Chains A and B, each alone.
Chain A
Amino acid sequence: MSAPVATAGSAVFPAHRLQAKQDTVDKVCGIVKKQLAVAEDTVVSGETKFADLGADSLDTVEIVMGLEEAFSITVDESSAQEIRTVEDAASLIDKLVTDKDS
């Protein structure tokens, strides 16, 4: 059996992280767009990197705080540091929400 191959257009997620729910991704996009005052015509999706939107560390911290408030979770610094894309944030949120509710 051959190993899975990542091809352009597909994403290979680490085994421990499931793909984030679209609903969560959409909510994160909304919070991010608002925090960074993103222009109406700029597309923000799961793949969008925070760095690509010009977010600096203070922006990131405010976004994380906005996510904590919206989802009633707490994000510790080491998890926050791993977040590069909207998808990363959404996956983390889904996990924290699941942990919280279980």
Chain B
Amino acid sequence: EVHVWYLCPDELNNQSQLNMYEELLSPSEREYADSMKATMLRKDVVLSRALLRTTLSRYTGCKIDPRSFEFKKNKFGKPEVLWPLDDSTAEQPLHFNISHTTSLIACGIAINAHIGIDVEEKKRNTTKNILSLARRYFTPSEVDSLAEISDSDAQRKEFLKLWTLKEAYVKALGMGFSGAPFSTFSIMLETSKGIRISKTSNASRPGYDHLSENWLFTLAELNSSHYMSVCIEDSSRSQAGPEDSPAPVGLKVWKTVPFVEDTLVSGTEAVKLIA
């Protein structure tokens, strides 16, 4: 099961609330926020760190104060929780990943499974032509499926869906863009087992053995304004035969104003599962 907590920066303008969120940040996070010259970006940094810290705290039964979390980066730069070494809190198999757009910041949480999340505004335009981008970065089969779409707006949206799915996979793997170049794997949207990953022949070059295919995806439309893709490790099916479909990823989504209000939005019009 995957839980996603998101907030909308445009709706959070109460300065005393923002100060409260800033209070949760570590000195280095605050320094990073201060290094942002643009006010909007600074606010973005504060909100995303506050979202992460308050979300993690929820999953420790609120026993760990949001301020207390420390983080480390894996050798590829993916952030992870650095659990304290004292006896009072056992290490917890809590995995997280964050994605931002200017209008929405989302934090995905999974227990015992690596997770990647990516969010994109549905109305986002690219400066480059969609098929040129796809030819440069995607796989031939993905280019073909995009080329079949004659309506340019529909094509652009399909590109964005594929983009978020591919980003979510790369972020879940945690090895950076170069660890899983987009041209080494295809997203297959409509298999009988839901969304699947398929490695391309490009990936049989040395160096890409870590590209695994046992990942589960979920793609949803949030608030009719954003596409959201979540990718988690499929650890459940070690004994499953080829006829068995994996259980769909259980997805719960909350819109949050940390410390003020949480609204469960999955199961409503606000979260429409695409696949």
A residues apposed to B, CB below 8 Å: 34-35, 42, 52, 54, 56-58, 61-62, 65-66, 68, 76-78, 80-81
Contacts and interface: CB of A to CB of B under 8 A. Distances in A.
Contacts of A56: 100-101
B178 A62 contact: no
Interface stretch (B13-21, B47-55, B120-128, B248-256): B120-128
A77 B179 CA distance: 9
19 contacts: A35-B127, A42-B38, A52-B41, A54-B38, A54-B41, A57-B177, A58-B126, A62-B126, A62-B127, A62-B128, A62-B133, A65-B132, A65-B136, A66-B128, A77-B178, A80-B177, A81-B176, A81-B177, A81-B178
Interface string B37-77: 11011001000000000000000000000000000000000
Q: Give the most central of A34, A35, A57, A58: most B CB within 10 Å.
A: A58
B36 interface: yes
A28 B162 CA distance: 28
Given A58-B163, A81-B177, A52 B37 contact: yes
A58 B166 CA distance: 11
Nearest to A68: B136
Q: Return the 6 tightest CB-CB contacts between A and B, nearest first.
A: A78-B178, A77-B178, A77-B181, A81-B178, A81-B177, A62-B128
Contacts of A61: 133, 137
Interface string B3-45: 0000000000000000000000000000000011110110010
Contacts of A54: 38, 40-41, 44, 102
Contacts of B221: none
A66 B132 CA distance: 11
A60 to B, nearest CB: 9
A52 to B, nearest CB: 6
A52 B33 CA distance: 10
Contacts of A62: 126-128, 133
B86 to A, nearest CB: 34
Nearest to B207: A78
A80 B36 contact: no
A8 to B, nearest CB: 14
Contacts of A80: 177-178
Given A58-B163, A76-B178, A81-B178, 9 more contacts: A42-B38, A57-B167, A57-B177, A58-B120, A58-B126, A62-B127, A66-B128, A77-B178, A78-B178
B36 A52 contact: yes
Contacts of B126: 58, 62
